[in-house]
A and B are shown apart, each in its own frame.
Chain A
Amino acid sequence: AQTVTQSQPEMSVQEAETVTLSCTYDTSESDYYLFWYKQPPSRQMILVIRQEAYKQQNATENRFSVNFQKAAKSFSLKISDSQLGDAAMYFCAYRSDTSGTYKYIFGTGTRLKVLA
């Protein structure tokens, strides 16, 4: 069974600085997708970035980028120029389409605090 691990329960970053959130996963499949979701205090899940496993190029979305290391099964999120609005819970998620269920498996989350 696939698992997703986020080893950092909480992280802090100074406003305007850069922070990296870690995520590792375990799977025997070769075709899958990885996601980072943000959950602010409102509890609405917001997609931050996604990565297709077959793509070697790391995904980027403005200030958000990932370091995808397929062999190491690592998928970290880098937030540059951190802003106060980035403070939230961040969840790493895995999805395999192989079984046809399209289920997401979420990590335990990392709470990000942004210090002014």
Chain B
Amino acid sequence: GAVVSQHPSRVICKSGTSVKIECRSLDFQATTMFWYRQFPKKSLMLMATSNEGSKATYEQGVEKDKFLINHASLTLSTLTVTSAHPEDSSFYICSARVGWDNEQFFGPGTRLTVL
């Protein structure tokens, strides 16, 4: 099956700093990439949808200025958490959509801890 990677797998940062998370589709070109946030023992909540070369579409309640998404190529999307605070600590998961099937393949996730 299609493989999606995320980097880093975990990151610890100080409050007020920015953190960038990369999502890559390794063996296919992704028409669309999605970013989810998952709190402990909770479900995945969609944050935004990004298409290559265009602005991301954010879900209601997600601050676009705090969570910057860049989708520069068909194999790479990045999520930057700006001016991170402890409440941004969470597990962030990306997925990539395969064009011919519309199925999403998920990355392994990134655990962000803001001190």
- Which listed residue (B38, B41, B43, B97) contacts A102, Cβ 8 A? B97
User: How far apart are the CA atoms of A91 and B36 in the complex, in Å?
Assistant: 14
Q: Would you call the interface of chain B mostly helix, strand, loop, or mixed? A: strand
What's the interface size class on B, roughly? 20 to 34
Q: Would you call the interface of chain A mostly helix, strand, loop, or mixed? A: loop
Do residues A95 and B43 form an inter-chain contact, with CB atoms below 8 A? Answer: no
Interface size on A, residues (CB 8 A): 20
- Which listed residue (B41, B104, B109) contacts A104, Cβ 8 A? B104
Quick one: given A42-B108, A102-B32, are A108 and B43 in contact (CB under 8 Å)? Answer: yes
B83 at the interface (CB under 8 A from A): no
Counting chain B CB atoms within 10 Å of each CB, the highest count among A97, A101, A107 belongs to A101
Contacts of A42 in B (CB 8 A): 108
Contacts of B38 in A (CB 8 A): 43
The smallest beta-carbon distance between B77 and chain A, in angstroms, is 15
Q: Mark A83-116, 1 if CB is under 8 A from B, else 0.
A: 0000000010001010001111111110100000
- Which listed residue (B42, B49, B97, B106) contacts A45, Cβ 8 A? B106
User: How far apart are the CA atoms of A86 and B33 in the complex, in Å?
Assistant: 28
Counting chain A CB atoms within 10 Å of each CB, the highest count among B32, B34, B95, B104 belongs to B104
The smallest beta-carbon distance between A61 and chain B, in angstroms, is 13
Q: Which residues 32-46 in A have Cβ within 8 Å of B in the complex?
A: 33, 42-45
Q: Which residues 46-91 in A have Cβ within 8 Å of B in the complex?
A: 47, 50, 91
Contacts of A111 in B (CB 8 A): 41
User: How far apart are the CA atoms of A104 and B57 in the complex, in Å?
Assistant: 14
**Can you name 12 extra interface pairs (CB under 8 A) apart from A95-B102, A109-B42?**
A43-B93, A43-B108, A44-B106, A44-B108, A45-B93, A45-B106, A91-B44, A97-B102, A101-B57, A102-B104, A103-B49, A106-B43
9 A–B contacts from the bound complex (CB under 8 Å): A42-B108, A43-B108, A44-B106, A47-B103, A101-B49, A102-B32, A102-B102, A104-B44, A108-B43
